[in-house]
A and B are shown apart, each in its own frame.
Chain A
Amino acid sequence: MFRYVLRKLVNILLSLFVLATATFFLMKAIPGDPFMQEKNVPAAVRENLIKYYGFDKPLWHQYLIYLKNLLNLDLGMSMRQQYQSVVDIITRSFKYSLQLGVVAIIVSVVVGVAIGLIAALYNRKLIDRLIMLAATVGIAVPNFVLATLGQYYFANKLRWFHVAGLHGPMDYVLPTLALSVLPIAFIARLTRSTMIEVLAADYIRTAKAKGLGSLTILIRHALRNGLLPVVSYVGPMTANIITGSVVVESIFGIAGLGKFFTDSVSNRDYTLIMGITLFYAAILMASRFITDIAYAIIDPRIKISKKGG
């Protein structure tokens, strides 16, 4: 187990390094810089800025400086938001995205598994067909449509919610809805198909024959296997949701991380581009790592240590 974890960790660090290198050079390759705007600053002022940020040095030199700072865990200052460090910006906005994301994930998993189960239990009956129809629609409708429509009807017309912001518990409802419809639909379909398979399996029949209670069978035997595909879906989904959605956050005016993915690039805020890319990658890899471990724990067929295999 220890060696397995260690190997995974080394892989993660290596991937982060490769990613940092690629992002650095790609980002510098796109035309434009943080100081360009409709009204040009005079050449001499521009020179002062370029010198201050070290853009006059050769690219490899800039890269080495960046790596050195990175090893000291210094992500630098934003070039757009004056006197704001990249770490501060990420921490501050991640708080919003994380809070909203966790709610959305819990709702997605609970509701998704629940309706998936119902559909499986009523396999091929009317309820099942209705649920699967709804799930197909849920997968097909993009979240900006849900967000825009939800905001217009529930906040503007019916006035049940605030249009934007994340200041009270009620403010979570619409963005959560927009974020979780797709994962709910996906999880429901996954749950349904694996549960139908599992419920028909021999060992379930055996369990029934042994006279175990149906609830026990469902939860201890069926669900445990039935949830495996869900777990592998939820890992990467978690990384995506907690790092914020550009669309949902901009529509609901949430000060989360999402908009920085696009804004940092359009502002050519180099330090923030690097910081946010590495942060996202780290979260994604961490969630995959946890998924792998969780998988190993849930699925008795996966053996981690070579000794046991």
Chain B
Amino acid sequence: MKAKLTLLLVSIVASVAVLAGCGNDNSGGAGQEFRMNLGAEPPTLDPALMQDQVSSTVMSGLFEGLTRMENGEAVNAMAEDIAVSEDGLKYTVKIRQDAKWSNGDAVTAHDFEYSWKRTLDPNLNPPAPYAYQLYYIKGAEEYNTNAGGTVDQVGVKATDDLTLEIELKNPTPYFKSLLSFYTYYPVNKAVVSANPAWAAEADTYVSNGPFKLSSWAHSDSIDLVPFEDYYDRDSIKLEKVHFVMISDASTESNMYETDELDWSGKPTGSIPVEQLAQLIQDKNPELVSQPQASTYYYNFNNSKKPFNNAKVRKALSMAIDRQAIVDKVSKGNEVPAFAFVPPGIHGVTKDFRDEITTEYFTENADEAKKLLAEGLAEEGMTAMPEFELSYNEGGVHQPVAEAIADMWNKNLGITVKTQTVEWKVFLQNRTSLAYDVARAGWGADYNDPMTYIDMWITGGGNNDTGFSNAEYDALVKEAYSTQDQQARVDAMAKAEQILIGDNMAIMPIFYSSVNTLVKPHVKNVGIDYKGDIDYTRAYIEK
């Protein structure tokens, strides 16, 4: 009996195991299909509520603004013609006649006016976090912030179905590229005003871009298929874009290796840190690496002793070895930074970094030691007190912080406590100046040095260092007041000299880069200066 029973039990166990034995083939994407990882569920696919790269990666296929970016230049998209007044304040836009919504409606100037005013509505449910991207428009800020402005005072008006008139607050040389940004997308007035939750599911979704939303399995996957009535349909070769939402980097890497993905890494996915270092070392042909207009730096708490002293801040900044950090610690093709505005940002005719000095300071441990002593003496201190270097979880933050703390210890003889802080607590501490030195990073919002400069004005919403300098504030104002690009760049370069060269209000560490793994059969996927992906004109060649 014992034997019979054992046989029975063994066969139960075996049958469960047999289930596992059946083969399974992972066939690659069929035909013109492009597959990439979003890393997470997009929080929204409504242009008014967007503020993150996951959403914008999906939306760049679904929507199109008045312009779109092509090789770094803004070209007309929904607009057929954009006329700018001499003072640079008035834009008259003709909408193309063959522009259609995915439900068949024509895209009109009214849709743009409605969309932008909806985003600015302080009582939108819920209010739009990125509404300030529209503050270039006259009256926009006053309306959005309840500062006495009304919706009728907002400088955007559809004078007929195909004409949109825009009035700006200041001359803004990069406004045409801003028009390609997602906050400036139109929405279908009839659809959106009838159903506020229109963007929550695929079947109520209406868009105007090269692709339409064919399915949205929340937290699982999103599929896009070409929109047949898109005006430039002939340029669209892909038959399907498939997004998965995998949060684990090694899972993504396994999927790429087994041909379940055509693209891995930035902007929305990730390559495991150790694996990336190996790929770079092996010069893997599928690894594509390019600079990203993004700066990795440390905030000094300018309001706290002894970090209120410029000499102390300079000493700390000069006492580290940036090349060693990018070569041995972060290991992702980063470039050491000795200024704040990263390469890839336009100056007058060339790259801003090529026109202005690239180094506001040099690394020098001996000089640093001297400066530290002087600075401490000025503050009436004899030795550098032990302080905290805080950073959030993830990425290379911890190893970089430990390396820097070590360099400070070795070169300046000071003791630094490194501390990992949970993300939101970290942000709260940074905003309320409850830190000594804290990690930070800044990526461009638009291609102009201003996106890195105006954040440091006194009391600026993103100035979480306590830095305040009247001359700096005046230079920013000066750059805002003119549309003469040379004068603007000069003012911003002077401002940067004050920020880094004179004050070292923050400590630049490195400029980031975009590292991606791309299957050889994927052609014509673009990565722009800030690391955003453009897959709309991609195709598969096997």
Contact = CB atoms under 8 A, between A and B. Distances in A.
Interface of A: 30-33, 35-45, 48-49, 52-53, 80-84, 89, 92-93, 107, 110-111, 114-115, 117-118, 121, 148, 151-152, 155-156, 159-165, 170, 173, 177, 214-215, 218, 250-253, 255, 259, 266, 268
Contact of A218 (B5, B200, B250): B5
A256 B2 CA distance: 42
B41 A81 contact: yes
Interface of B: 1-2, 5-6, 9-10, 12-13, 16, 19-20, 22-26, 41, 43-44, 46, 49, 51, 122-123, 125-132, 141, 144-147, 196-197, 199-200, 217-221, 244-248, 250-251, 254-255, 257-258, 260, 422-425, 427-429, 431, 440-442, 445, 461-462, 464
Nearest to B44: A82
Given A32-B424, A160-B24, A218-B5, A82 B49 contact: yes
A107 B427 CA distance: 45
Most A CB contacts (10 A, CB to CB) among B23, B26, B51, B254 go to B254
A118 B425 CA distance: 53
A43 B428 contact: no
Nearest to B46: A82
Contacts of A161: 24
Contact of A163 (B122, B128, B221, B251): B251
B125 A52 contact: yes
Nearest to B145: A44
Contacts of A177: 20
List the 9 closest pairs (A to B, CB-CB), nearest first: A32-B424, A44-B145, A82-B44, A255-B219, A48-B127, A255-B220, A83-B200, A31-B428, A114-B9
Given A164-B255, A170-B22, A45 B144 contact: yes
Given A164-B254, A164-B260, 8 more contacts: A48-B146, A83-B199, A151-B250, A162-B260, A163-B251, A165-B221, A255-B218, A266-B423
Main DSSP-derived SS at the B contact region: loop
A38 B441 contact: yes
Contact of A268 (B19, B131, B255, B424): B424
A39 B431 CA distance: 11
B218 A160 contact: no
Contacts of B44: 81-83
B423 A41 contact: no
A255 B422 CA distance: 24
B200 A45 contact: no
B24 A30 contact: no
22 contacts: A32-B423, A32-B424, A36-B428, A36-B431, A44-B141, A44-B145, A45-B144, A53-B126, A81-B218, A92-B219, A114-B9, A121-B6, A156-B257, A162-B26, A163-B255, A164-B251, A164-B254, A165-B244, A215-B5, A252-B251, A253-B251, A266-B423
Contacts of A33: 424
A115 B46 contact: no
Contact of B9 (A30, A37, A115, A250): A115
Nearest to A150: B20
Given A41-B461, A45-B144, A84-B200, A253 B246 contact: yes
Contacts of B141: 44
Contact of A250 (B2, B247, B462): B247
Contacts of B144: 44-45, 48
Contacts of B199: 82-83
Contacts of B146: 44, 48
Nearest to B428: A31
Contacts of A114: 9, 12-13
Nearest to A213: B1
A251 to B, nearest CB: 5
A48 B145 CA distance: 8
Contacts of B251: 151, 163-164, 250-253
A231 B393 CA distance: 40
A54 to B, nearest CB: 11
A160 B19 CA distance: 12
A255 B440 CA distance: 31
Nearest to A79: B126
A125 to B, nearest CB: 11
Contact of B254 (A32, A49, A83, A151): A151
A115 B132 contact: no
A159 B26 contact: yes
A132 to B, nearest CB: 16
Contacts of A36: 424, 427-428, 431
Nearest to A253: B246
Nearest to A144: B248
Given A32-B427, A170-B22, A93 B219 contact: yes
B127 A253 contact: no
Given A32-B428, A45-B129, A215-B5, A40 B462 contact: yes
A84 B218 contact: yes
Nearest to A78: B43
Contacts of B218: 81, 84, 89, 92, 255
Contacts of B258: 155-156, 159, 163
Nearest to B130: A41
B206 to A, nearest CB: 15
B254 A155 contact: yes
B341 to A, nearest CB: 16
Contact of B217 (A118, A151, A255): A255
B425 to A, nearest CB: 5
A307 B254 CA distance: 62
Contacts of A117: 5, 9
B35 to A, nearest CB: 12
A164 B23 CA distance: 15
Nearest to B22: A170
A147 to B, nearest CB: 9
Contacts of A37: 51, 427
A202 to B, nearest CB: 21
B149 to A, nearest CB: 11
B281 to A, nearest CB: 21
A115 B5 CA distance: 11
Contacts of B1: 214-215
A49 B10 CA distance: 61
A49 B428 CA distance: 17
Contact of A40 (B10, B12, B196, B461): B461
A115 B17 CA distance: 13
Contact of A45 (B13, B43, B46, B145): B145
A36 B219 CA distance: 22
B429 to A, nearest CB: 8
A30 B247 CA distance: 25
A84 B126 CA distance: 12
B257 A31 contact: no
A40 B430 CA distance: 11
Contacts of B442: 38-39
A121 B44 CA distance: 58
Nearest to B9: A114
Nearest to B147: A44
A152 B254 contact: yes
Contacts of B10: 118
Query: Considering residues B129, B219, B221, B422, which has the most beta carbons from chain A within 10 angstroms of its beta carbon?
Result: B219
Contacts of A115: 9, 13
Nearest to A115: B13
B260 A35 contact: no
Contacts of B16: 107, 110-111
A38 B295 CA distance: 13
A31 B435 CA distance: 14
A82 B218 CA distance: 12
A43 B127 contact: no
A77 to B, nearest CB: 9
